[in-house]
Amino acid sequence: MSATTKTLEELTNRKYEAGFITDIEQDTVPPGLDEDIIRFISRKKAEPEWMLEWRLKAYRNWLQMPVPKWANVHYPPIDFQAISYYSAPKRKEDMPQSLDEIDPKLKETYDRLGIPLHEQEMLAGVAVDAVFDSVSVATSYKAKLKEEGIVFCSMSEAIREHPDLVRKYLGSVVPYTDNYYAGLNSAVFTDGSFVFIPKGVRCPMELSTYFRINAANTGQFERTLIIAEEGSHVSYLEGCTAPVRDENQLHAAVVELIALDDAQIKYSTVQNWYPGDEEGRGGVYNFVTKRGLCAGNNSKISWTQVETGSAITWKYPSCVLRGDNSVGEFYSVAVTRGRQQADTGTKMIHMGKNTRSTIVSKGISAGHGQQSYRGLVRITPKAENARNYSQCDSMLMSATCGAHTFPYIDVQNPTAQLEHEATTSKIGEEQILYCNQRGIATEDAVSLIVNGFCKEVFRTLPMEFAVEAQKLMEITLEGSVG
């Protein structure tokens, strides 16, 4: 092993930087799952009867579903009875009216993560709906959004305040029968975000939510629903990180997006869940179902994700292009290091005429990280003149990591045009030497090279998020090549 290799190895083995547990009073149910727990959650959230019924139907269906085994990831079977399905921070009053009122410990947690809410509000003009454990604790800029007729609130609040919208759209893109984890989520989801952009409105700010897993043994089941009516535009940012813990934490979120005629939704994620220690112990299991429906003509849904965390990631943000001329995009950077495993990619389902989709996937593997890209492009019989461009690039940073590509193509209409490009490269010791020879230290060289590799994806992120993503990559990959 050369000297450079060794340095790179050391760089990748860095400990997780956001690891600490906030000591906050929890209101937690004992571990286990049955209909009573679901009733408890529903009652706790003062939900209407139809919501409880839906949850119970989802639960009964889930009981019949087999655990999916097809993903290229390996982990011991999850004991769903060992998980606690509800935990909420205690609040003295009903809801905090401003960020000053949120629990100071919570604020401190965010501050230590480098995402102070107040600064974000002032500097970036971002409306924040922070999800701490399972209940929303801070919602801001509500008044301003309200003027535009935009609804941006927690899912619990939406169920109470906007039951018609929730009832109409919840499960319309990801039904509870869809897959095992989406089924579980439908039964026990505790909170999440709800966004409704009315006809013709361009959301005046980026909407963002920070997720954070905190309570030991508490599964996280977030549910997000974004509806963009005709001609509306919205950009939504999701970012998360979690403290160091011992047991594996299950995170099974569902995100549903609906774009009507001429509407555009951009959904950006920076995901930094705790990946586990060097042996992969204690990391987050991230089994997420994200799907967008381009329901209307000329609509557009764009997913961008930067995935650096989790012990296991199982995630395929997808687009169903039902409207004619609708556009789906998927831009992804995924990093696996240590013992991380990721099976991620996208599905583009072309149904309407002249539908277009773009897939750009950048995978970076270091240490013993294992990564699979799994992508499906389906052109259904009625999708005349559909086009897809897919590009999957993998960068290997050690001799012990792996990258795998599973592209599935299902073309049922002869007018379709598909393009696929794939590359695998090893981060070159020659590239690092070249940088060194110009005075650039190895750590900086690695981040320079990796950020260059990810550029096509980063440039689709909103500005301040791109900077954060770049910083995250630096922290993550300090110690990742070999």
Partner 1 sequence: MALLEIRNLHARIQGVEILKGIDLAIERGETHAIMGPNGSGKSTLAKVLAGDPSYEVTGGEVYFQDRNLLELAPEDRAREGVFLGFQYPVEIPGVSNTYFLKAALNAIRKYRGEKELDAMEFLQLIKERAKSVKLDEALLRRPVNDGFSGGEKKRNEIFQLAMLEPYLAILDETDSGLDIDALRTVAEGVNSLRSEERGFLVITHYQRLLSYIIPDKVHVLLHGRIVKSGGKELAEELEGSGYALFDEAAA
Q: For residues 172 and 436, which CB has a smaller minimum distance to partner 1 in the complex?
A: 436
How many chain residues touch partner 1 (CB under 8 A)? 26
Is 169 a binder of partner 1 (CB under 8 A)? no
What are the backbone angles phi and psi of residue 94, rounded to the nearest 5°? -65, -75
**Binder of partner 1 out of 454, 461, 469, 472 (CB under 8 A):** 454
Q: For residues 10 and 429, which CB has a smaller minimum distance to partner 1 in the complex?
A: 429
Is 451 a binder of partner 1 (CB under 8 A)? yes
Q: For residues 413 and 451, which CB has a smaller minimum distance to partner 1 in the complex?
A: 451
Is 4 a binder of partner 1 (CB under 8 A)? yes
Q: How far apart are CA 195 and CA 28, in angstroms?
A: 27
Closest C-alpha among 428, 425, 436, 442 to residue 477: 442
Is 435 a binder of partner 1 (CB under 8 A)? yes
**Binder of partner 1 out of 444, 463, 467, 471 (CB under 8 A):** 444
Give the dihedral sign, CA 97/101/127/157: negative
Q: How far apart are CA 64 and CA 69, in angstroms?
A: 15
**Binder of partner 1 out of 224, 453, 469, 477 (CB under 8 A):** 453
**Binder of partner 1 out of 308, 365, 442, 480 (CB under 8 A):** 442
Is 422 a binder of partner 1 (CB under 8 A)? no
**Residue 331 Cβ, how far from partner 1 at the closest point, in Å?**
14
Neighbours of 476 (CB within 10 A): 24
Q: For residues 82 and 441, which CB has a smaller minimum distance to partner 1 in the complex?
A: 441
Is 426 a binder of partner 1 (CB under 8 A)? no
C-beta of residue 317 within 8 angstroms of C-beta of residue 290:
yes
**Residue 338 Cβ, how far from partner 1 at the closest point, in Å?**
24
From the list 286-294, 320-328, 347-355, 428-436, the region that binds partner 1 by CB under 8 A is 428-436
Is 334 a binder of partner 1 (CB under 8 A)? no
Strand 312-315 vs strand 327-336: parallel, antiparallel, or unpaired? Answer: unpaired
Neighbours of 70 (CB within 10 A): 8
Q: How far apart are CA 321 and CA 68, in angstroms?
A: 25
Tokens linked to 29: 């149910």
Is 66 a binder of partner 1 (CB under 8 A)? no
Is 452 a binder of partner 1 (CB under 8 A)? yes
**Residue 371 Cβ, how far from partner 1 at the closest point, in Å?**
19
From the list 58-66, 210-218, 342-350, 424-432, the region that binds partner 1 by CB under 8 A is 424-432
Q: For residues 40 and 389, which CB has a smaller minimum distance to partner 1 in the complex?
A: 389
Is 448 a binder of partner 1 (CB under 8 A)? yes
Is 429 a binder of partner 1 (CB under 8 A)? yes
Beta bridge partners of 70: none
C-alpha separations of 272 from 18, 300, 305 in Å: 9, 27, 11
Strand 233-241 vs strand 249-251: parallel, antiparallel, or unpaired? Answer: unpaired
The one-character DSSP state at 201 is P
Axis-axis angle for helices 463-477, 442-453 (nearest 10): 130
The one-character DSSP state at 202 is B
**Residue 442 Cβ, how far from partner 1 at the closest point, in Å?**
7
C-beta of residue 360 within 8 angstroms of C-beta of residue 456:
yes
Q: How far apart are CA 240 and CA 172, in angstroms?
A: 26
From the list 1-9, 94-102, 111-119, 350-358, the region that binds partner 1 by CB under 8 A is 1-9
Neighbours of 124 (CB within 10 A): 17
From the list 10-18, 133-141, 234-242, 453-461, the region that binds partner 1 by CB under 8 A is 453-461
Is 463 a binder of partner 1 (CB under 8 A)? no
Q: Cα 133 from chain centroid?
A: 16
**Residue 156 Cβ, how far from partner 1 at the closest point, in Å?**
42
Instruction: Compute and round to an integer the Cα radius of gyration of the chain.
Output: 22
**Residue 449 Cβ, how far from partner 1 at the closest point, in Å?**
6
Q: How far apart are CA 386 and CA 324, in angstroms?
A: 10
Is 441 a binder of partner 1 (CB under 8 A)? yes
Residue ranges in contact with partner 1 by CB under 8 A: 2-4, 428-431, 433-442, 444, 448-449, 451-456
